[in-house]
Structure 1
Amino acid sequence: MITAANGAAEPLLWKPEQAAVMLGIGRTKVYDLMRTGALRSVRLGGSRRIPATALADFVAQLEEETDAA
């Protein structure tokens, strides 16, 4: 279980709109990233959700690319 600083449980799966807010990018960009595989997502019924670990992995990958440049 993932917990926030205040001790409350955080969701393990995020809606694309929520992920966009967390990443500071637009919803359309999140869908583009999911479509290309740059941001992992899972299917839940008829919807797509982004695992919290996928968000952390995506940011880590961006940092690695920045450090390598």
Structure 2
Amino acid sequence: LDQWETYDGYVYPIKWSIFIESEDLELTIEPVIKQQENELFFRYWEGAVRVTGFKNGQAISGYGYVEMTGYAQSMKGVF
């Protein structure tokens, strides 16, 4: 649904829509701040996300945490 591009052209997906029909659950997950990439021993995106949606027709919301690796560089040989 949305993406964020690093200063050198790597792209991270940063917004998701999830629908679980059996649970009557529909969620949208998006970052609190788009630019949450870290460059330590390897590059990765991690940070706070906001969750909004509906469960059984009732509005719900909350916060969470997402970590993504492998978008800006391969993780092969890192561990």
* TM-score band, normalised by shorter chain: under 0.3
Structure showing greater Rg: 2
**When you count strand as a share of all residues, which structure comes out higher?**
2
**When you count helix as a share of all residues, which structure comes out higher?**
1
Higher relative contact order by CA 8 Å / sep ≥ 6: 1 or 2?
A: 1
TM-score, with length taken from structure 1: 0.24
TM-score, with length taken from structure 2: 0.22
